[in-house]
Amino acid sequence: MDSPGVAQRLALGLMDTFQSMNEFQVFVFCGTVVLLAAWAAWWYTKFKFMPIQHPREPNEMPYLIPYVGNAIPFFKNSQLFLAKAQNSVGRDKSPFAFTIFGTKFYVISDPKHAKEVDKNNGTLSFDEFIFDFVKSTGVSDEGMKACYFKKLPEHGADFPNPSEDPIGVLVRHMHVHQLHPGDNQKNVEKRFLHSFDRDLQIDRIRNSTVISNNVVEISLYKWCGDFFTRSGEYAYFGDTLAGIDDKFSDMFYIFDELSWQITYKIPGIFASEMKAAHARLCQSLKLYFQTPQSERGEQAWFTNSAEKGLRSVGVTDEDIATLFLTIYLTINTNTRRAAFWMLTFLLYNPHLIEAVLEETKAAFDAGKLIDPTYLSNHELCPQLESIWLETLRATSTGASVRCVNKDTIIGGRLLRQGNKILIPSRLLHLDGDAWGKSAREFRPERFLSKKNSARGGSWRPFGGGSTLCTGRFVAEHMIKACVTMILHRFHLQIVGDAALPMGDECTPGLGIMGITQDEDFKVDKSTLGQATLLGLFQDTGLDNAEYNNLNSLFYTGYILGQVPGQFLIQRLRLRTYISGTIFAWAVIIFLHCVAKSYGALIPLRFFLGFVESPMIPALEITMNMFFTPEEVHQVQPLFYISCIGSPMFTGLVSYGLLFSKAAVSPWKFFMIITGGMSLLLSGLTWVAYPNNPATAWFLSTEEKIQTIRRVQNSTRSAIEQKTFKKYQFHEALRDPVSWLFASAGFTLMLANNLPYQQSLLFLDLGVSDLGSTLVWVASGGFAIICCIVAFLLIRIFPGYNAYWAALWSLPCIATSIGIVTISWGETIPMLACLLIPPNCFAQTWIISVGWLSSSCAGYTKRLTRNAMFMVFYVISNIISPQLWKSGGPRYHGAWITQIVVSFTLTPLILILIRYILSKRNKERRQWIAEQAALGNYGEGYVEQSSDRGDTVKRLTLLCST
């Protein structure tokens, strides 16, 4: 009868696996099948069947995970997602839909439809968003009730209230009054201009920047943010707030960059930095409002009147502070960015600077602005006006929003009650039909030739309808004044060949977009990247010492996990143990994403090591069930390609993540990717991992029998024999070879922190983040080559394990000497010297581990020897990171320790092991000859301790050397 085909064998193997499952495993398998079927039915119904049944409703962008919806691609790159969605389900500019965490948004991308939304004040409203946003900022329930549901006393506020609106609504009307053209607007503009005049002085700038003679070097993005924020602060609160907290504007910069997390209700565990800045700002504002008004100095009319109204209905100091922070946000969030972009476009188009200076010179006298109204005259300053309008068009990423209170027809589509409407300005501003093929280019002349373009429906950076920005007049006047004051007072130039900064189109915007990470530039100075380890250092506040401590903690958990891990290996089937361990590992990796400090990372790294520790012994045991000792030697390097070759994959992932424009830090995405793959692997091992050759679904019955007999004949031991034999345990402890292997593991692993230290050393050498990830990819490729070479050497020239292990140490010695002798400025040679040692001494370790297991027979002895090796391995790894605590960037002490102990002493220990084993084999061969002469035929012997402690001899195979 012909042997079964591959498909038939696979089916039979799967049937055997299914039959070998226990009740819980069957439950999990069947439950998974049911869930997948239910998910497929849900997806087909929602995205295929329902659109046919309800053709009038907007097409919806499909997604895979219920409730979560399109949240992942939206928060990864909101503008790219909206553009793709428009091309996919909204190609005719009709309204389309997407879902985020259970909320459906209708997107309006046609100017005509946007006007329909603006005019509809009956079934569409904005009040819910204001209420929801204010509550999300942290105002208490009592404060919300007082602001929106409590009647305002007759003289509770210094502002007319004929409609008897609650103070929460009236405050918005008061702010509109403050910023609307008139005396109040002129007053607040006057205060802005005073602050500009005071802060835009060379001596003032010199105090906080790097200088060289008469040259002042500034980070343009942060500088614009700093002086504009301080100006808004002075205009509304005077100098008192800065006196209470001189870092208020710096903290606001952090909060403002992350404030979108409030709008989209990002869970607190992912918004810790924003919440910390928010708490600091609210505390400072609380102290401000607790200061008697007589001691605060001059402040805006609105500030006094709004505070009076809020106090009249019993709003607490804490809630007043929180409410005013939202106002502070609306004042400063977009003006600072707009000023930055306007200056940036001018600097990259120098001919426009000359035109603006010539056009506005009548408004200035020796650098002092004497006629602010001149700048707002579109006839007198057409170039300035066109640059202003084009800047807003090119950089606005905000959106108008509405809540659908009743089923409404917009653009011929039925929008259902309870959902939201989104009108993204960027979809309109980049519309090729409205702006032509040059929509993505900065071309202010388009507003010179088309005077009414700014009034058309395709230009709406300030929103529209009832949500038209109340501060648009002040914003225009002050940004034009600020930019022209800078141009008339200073000569700006960009240092080096810095490219035009990339706008942050990824972060869901509240108005004008910011810039992507590390895209800022300095005038008269270049910048260096500060990201390390994909942003882990920045997000958690780690320093190099703490990073090394975490590596030590990992191995502390590793050593403590050995005993319970080895116990579980004895008690559980390998499939259960390995799949469960991988699952626990994946969960801990996922939990890294919520860590926001060094303290939070401590337990995670400890338990990661605790869970991972017995995995190598478990995998080695599995290999020894399927391969003879000689074969284990040969395949060990190939097996470990999956480990030391992984930087080739992780490097490419890291490289891609460094290009990510998402608001979430790249290192968190890296953890999610790694954890997700591990979670998938745990499921696969639960179903498919063999406990022993007898349960290997990928082997036929004949192959199973052949595999078992081959291993038994070569080792004289049974497969998966888990009986703990005390005599083998004592034998392993009394064998000096066991201690020598453990010592080799200790000495070699003193160098094992080098792979973790490489990321920091790369940056110390001046290698960029992207460059270092590419070096990691090269390192992974080199590691794979080393493993293949090691495999070929062992296979072609067997029996020389100690010599091959010593051979791989020689490049490590040579390159380590190079590290401490080559000039630090020689980047390429230094990188080569850093790249070689980890991948070469890894082969020494791989050969040692394989040799360790194959040089003894008996499950318990092998397990004991592995445990001894791993304990010494872990102790060394705890010590290793501490070698790098001081002496940077050259770290001579660490490198000398590695040269002497790791790369010289380790090979000597392994050669000593070879000498001992060779001597034993020689004695065994002599003993075999003696036994043969006496008629006792066998293959060899091992020394074994009897219960009385005597050494006896037992026939077995010769051990390998």
For 649-675, the pLDDT digits (tens) are 766 666 566 555 555 677 777 788 888
Q: For residue 204, what pLDDT is reported?
A: 66
pLDDT above 70 (res 379): yes
Residue 47 has pLDDT above 90, yes or no: yes
| Percent of the residues in the chain that have a pLDDT greater than 70, as a whole number | 80
Residue 533 to residue 540: CA distance in whole angstroms:
11
How many CA atoms does the CB half-sphere of 697 hold within 13 Å?
Answer: 22
Is pLDDT at 362 greater than 60 in this prediction? yes
CA dihedral sign of residues 774, 780, 784, 786: positive
Mean pLDDT of 38-58: 93
pLDDT digits (tens, 9 = 90+) for 419-447: 999 999 999 999 888 888 888 899 999 89
Query: Maximum distance among all alpha carbons in the chain?
Result: 121
Domain 127-156+166-523 fold: Cytochrome p450 (1.10.630)
pLDDT band at 325, cuts 50/70/90?
A: very high
Using the structure block, give the residue that is written with the tokens 């026939």.
955
Residues 6+ apart with CB under 8 A from 881: 548, 549, 551, 552, 753, 756
Average pLDDT over residues 253-258: 84
Q: How far is CA 943 from the centre of its chain?
A: 55
| 115/954: higher pLDDT | 115
**pLDDT, tens digit (0-9, with 9 covering 90-100), for 824-844:** 657 677 777 777 888 788 888
Choose the most confident range, by mean pLDDT, from 9-13, 62-66, 363-367, 636-640: 62-66
Q: Strand 399-404 to strand 420-424: parallel, antiparallel, or no bridges (unpaired)?
A: antiparallel
- 595 has pLDDT over 90: no
User: Contact 874/563 with Cβ under 8 angstroms?
Assistant: no
Q: How many CA within 13 A on the CB side of residue 473?
A: 16
Q: Which one has a higher pLDDT value, 529 or 474?
A: 474
Lowest mean pLDDT among 198-212, 320-334, 360-374, 698-712: 198-212
- DSSP H or E run through 107: strand 103-107
* Residue 866: closest CA among 644, 563, 626: 563
User: What residues are paired with 420 via a beta bridge?
Assistant: 105, 403
Confidence of residue 630 (pLDDT cuts 50, 70, 90): confident
Predicted confidence (pLDDT) per residue in 99-132, tens digit: 998 899 999 999 999 999 999 989 999 888 888 8
Looking at residue 900, what DSSP letter applies?
Answer: I
Question: What is the four-CA torsion angle of 787, 792, 795, 796, rounded to 10 degrees?
Answer: -160
The pLDDT, as a whole number, for residue 62 is 95
Better-scored residue on pLDDT, 95 or 648: 95
Minimal CA–CA distance to 330: which of 508, 510, 63, 69? Answer: 510
pLDDT at 559 over 80: no
pLDDT surpassing 70 at residue 208: no
Name beta bridge partners: 211.
Answer: 216
Mean pLDDT score of the chain, rounded to an integer? 80
Could you tell me which residues are annotated as the binding site?
A: 469
Q: What is the pLDDT of residue 919?
A: 85
**Terminal-residue alpha carbon distance, the chain:** 44
- The confidence band for 97, taking pLDDT boundaries of 50, 70 and 90, is very high
Tens of pLDDT, residue by residue over 517-554, are: 545 544 442 222 222 345 666 667 666 567 667 777 77
Query: Per DSSP, which regions of 764-880 are E strands?
Result: none
CATH code: domain 533-716+724-945 is 1.20.1250.20
- Minimum mean pLDDT among 41-50, 89-98, 512-521: which range? 512-521
Q: What does the pLDDT read at residue 815?
A: 85
Indicate whether this model's pTM tops 0.75.
Answer: no
| pLDDT per residue as tens digits for the range 386-424 | 999 999 999 998 888 999 999 999 999 999 999 999 999
Residue 948 has pLDDT above 50, yes or no: no
Q: Which range among 145-149, 252-256, 457-461, 723-727 shows the weakest confidence by mean pLDDT?
A: 723-727
pLDDT in tens, 691-748: 888 888 888 888 888 888 887 776 655 455 556 677 777 887 888 888 899 898 889 8
Coil, helix or strand for 365?
strand
Helix axes 754-764, 769-796, angle to 10 degrees: 140
More confident residue, 894 or 111: 111
pLDDT in tens, 752-806: 777 666 665 665 555 555 565 666 677 778 888 888 888 888 888 887 888 888 8
pLDDT of residue 419: 94
Instruction: Map residue 104 onto helix, strand or coil.
Output: strand
Residue 929 confidence (pLDDT): 76
DSSP, res 376 = T
Predicted local confidence at residue 74, as pLDDT: 87
Provide the 10 A C-beta neighbour count for residue 710. Answer: 15
Least confident of 255-269, 718-732, 794-808, 908-922: 718-732
How would residue 960 be classed by pLDDT, with cut points 50, 70 and 90? very low
Domain boundaries, the chain: 127-156+166-523, 533-716+724-945
Give the rounded percent of residues in the chain with a pLDDT score beyond 90: 22
Binding site as annotated, residues for heme: 469
Lowest mean per-residue pLDDT among 313-317, 524-528, 883-887: 524-528
Cβ pair 85, 73 in contact under 8 A: no
Q: What span, in angstroms and rounded, lies between the C-alpha atoms of 869 and 877?
A: 12
Residue 958: is its pLDDT beyond 50?
no
pLDDT at 20 over 70: no
Nearest Cα to Cα of residue 221 among 481, 522, 509, 477: 522
SS (H, E, C) 457-487: CCCCCCCCHHHCCCCHHHHHHHHHHHHHHHH
For 562-579, the pLDDT digits (tens) are 778 878 887 888 888 889
